[in-house]
């Protein structure tokens, strides 16, 4: 169910799955509808060919952007152009727009500013403080650009999508026979020095990882296959013990220092009652 042509997402995103689409395609079952409870940059959605989709995430700003682009298309892309000028590529302007993003209640403006911040912010990060304010610093890129073609592709494909802003539990429980679920949760840390499991405002901790694995196993017994991505560690090996596992190495790009972009072992865990442990 993966398309031959590879389409890059229009957003920068930590953990973007574009580079491992081929690995995912080897494990992803066929079905009528794909459900993604942690959509992020929506790389899998953009490179798959299911009849229908439920694309969800707990990040309100992300889903708000997708909904507005889905509704307005070219009109919204044109609205975003005003923020991508030479004059706007400065720390002073960036922090002005970041403050405006955190304060405005105008959802359309907030969506446009989300793209601006994504392209001008440090390393393409999406990060919030404890008060819920976006707090990524200026990125100092030479010439950030508005990804018009990628946004237009997303718009055209989004016509058969339901976008939802809700917790992964609610999204997964919407699944029925014939659906396929792909989960790309915040990854577990690779080392004990990063063992807080805090990735979002409310965190995605060890309990949440275990709850996800348990729910995936329960759904698989109902005939709904669930594929989960994560780091391959002793912890994930244990919680995914009932799944069929595929491991491989991927170079991490989140570090700003090339020397720190080491390869990490990842796992794709397929919970499927017709293919357990095969």
Same domain? 199 vs 217: yes
CA-to-CA dists, residue 42 to 48, 57, 153, 236, angstroms: 10, 10, 12, 23
Residue 6, in any domain of the structure: no
Residue 27's pLDDT is what?
94
Q: Answer for the pair 269, 245: CB distance below 8 angstroms, yes or no.
A: yes
Residue 198, in any domain of the structure: yes
Sequence-separated (6 or more) residues with CB below 8 Å from residue 180:
1, 28, 29, 30, 31, 33, 34, 35, 50, 224, 225, 227
Structure tokens at 181: 């679920």
Residue 158, in any domain of the structure: no
Beta bridge partners of 180: 34
Same domain? 170 vs 143: no
Same domain? 138 vs 207: no
Mean pLDDT of 72-85: 98
Q: Considering only CA atoms, which of 211, 243, 208, 207 is closest in space to residue 228?
A: 243
**Average per-residue pLDDT for the chain:** 91
Residue 197's pLDDT is what?
44
Q: Express as a percent the part of the chain with pLDDT over 90.
A: 82
Same domain? 37 vs 83: no
Global pTM value: 0.91
Residue 198's pLDDT is what?
43
Same domain? 177 vs 254: yes
Sequence-separated (6 or more) residues with CB below 8 Å from residue 194:
none
Domain containing 170 — which CATH number?
A: 3.40.50.150
Residue that is last in its domain, among 98, 124, 150: 150
CA distance 35 to 52: 9
Residue 16's pLDDT is what?
85
Residue 263's pLDDT is what?
84
Same domain? 175 vs 259: yes
pLDDT tens digit sequence for 140-186: 999 999 999 999 999 999 998 999 999 999 999 999 999 999 999 99
Same domain? 142 vs 197: no
Q: Answer for the pair 175, 224: CB distance below 8 angstroms, yes or no.
A: yes
Residue 161, in any domain of the structure: no
Same domain? 87 vs 214: no
Structure tokens at 203: 């965190």
Sequence-separated (6 or more) residues with CB below 8 Å from residue 91:
138, 140
Say whether pLDDT at 193 is over 90: no
CA distance 163 to 57: 8
Longest Cα separation, the chain: 57
CA distance 29 to 2: 10
Q: Answer for the pair 223, 273: CB distance below 8 angstroms, yes or no.
A: yes
Same domain? 54 vs 131: no
Residue that is last in its domain, among 126, 150, 174: 150
Residue 202's pLDDT is what?
53
pLDDT band at 112 (very low <50, low <70, confident <90, very high): very high
pLDDT tens digit sequence for 49-65: 999 999 999 999 999 99
Say whether pLDDT at 200 is over 50: no
Same domain? 260 vs 171: yes
Does residue 233 sit in helix, strand or coil?
coil
Residue 3's pLDDT is what?
80
pLDDT band at 274 (very low <50, low <70, confident <90, very high): confident
Mean pLDDT of 233-250: 96
Our measurement of the distance from residue 65's CA atom to the centroid of its chain's CA atoms, rounded to an integer in Å, reads 13
Same domain? 179 vs 49: yes
CA distance 63 to 57: 7
Residue 191, in any domain of the structure: yes
pLDDT band at 253 (very low <50, low <70, confident <90, very high): low
Residue 190, in any domain of the structure: yes
Domain containing 97 — which CATH number?
A: 1.10.1020.10
Residue that is last in its domain, among 150, 175, 190: 150
Q: What is the residue range of 245's domain?
A: 17-58+166-271
Range of lowest pLDDT (4-18, 84-98, 249-263): 249-263
Residue 262's pLDDT is what?
72
Please tell me the total count of domains within the chain: 2
Say whether pLDDT at 277 is over 70: no
Residue 159, in any domain of the structure: no
Mean pLDDT of 62-78: 98
Sequence-separated (6 or more) residues with CB below 8 Å from residue 195:
189
Residue 276, in any domain of the structure: no
Same domain? 260 vs 172: yes
Placement of tokens 């809700």 in the chain: 166
pLDDT band at 2 (very low <50, low <70, confident <90, very high): confident
């Amino acid at each position: 169910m993966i398309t031959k042509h590879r389409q890059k997402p229009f957003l920068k995103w930590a953990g973007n799955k574009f580079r491992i689409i081929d690995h995912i395609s080897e494990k992803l079952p066929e079905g009528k509808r794909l459900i993604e409870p942690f959509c992020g940059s929506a790389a899998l959605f953009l490179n798959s060919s299911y009849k229908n989709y439920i694309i969800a995430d707990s990040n309100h700003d992300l889903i708000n952007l997708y909904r507005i682009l889905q509704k307005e298309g070219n009109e919204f892309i044109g609205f975003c152009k005003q923020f991508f000028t030479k004059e706007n590529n400065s720390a002073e302007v960036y922090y002005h727009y970041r403050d405006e993003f955190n304060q405005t209640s105008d959802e359309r403006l907030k969506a446009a500013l989300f793209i601006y911040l994504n392209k001008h912010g440090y390393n393409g990060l999406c990060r919030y403080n404890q008060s819920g304010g976006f707090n990524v610093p200026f990125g100092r890129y030479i010439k950030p650009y508005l990804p018009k073609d990628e946004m237009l592709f997303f718009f055209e494909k989004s016509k058969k999508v339901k976008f939802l802003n809700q917790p992964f539990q609610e999204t997964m429980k919407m699944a029925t026979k014939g659906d396929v679920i792909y989960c790309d949760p915040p990854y577990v840390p690779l080392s004990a020095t990063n063992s807080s499991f805090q990735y979002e405002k409310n965190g995605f901790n060890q309990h949440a990882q275990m709850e996800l694995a348990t729910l995936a196993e329960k759904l698989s017994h109902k005939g709904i296959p669930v594929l989960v991505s994560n780091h391959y560690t002793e912890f994930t090996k244990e919680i995914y013990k009932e799944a069929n596992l595929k491991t491989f190495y991927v170079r991490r790009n989140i570090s700003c220092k090339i020397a720190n972009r080491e390869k990490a072992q990842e796992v794709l865990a397929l919970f499927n009652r017709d293919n357990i442990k095969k």
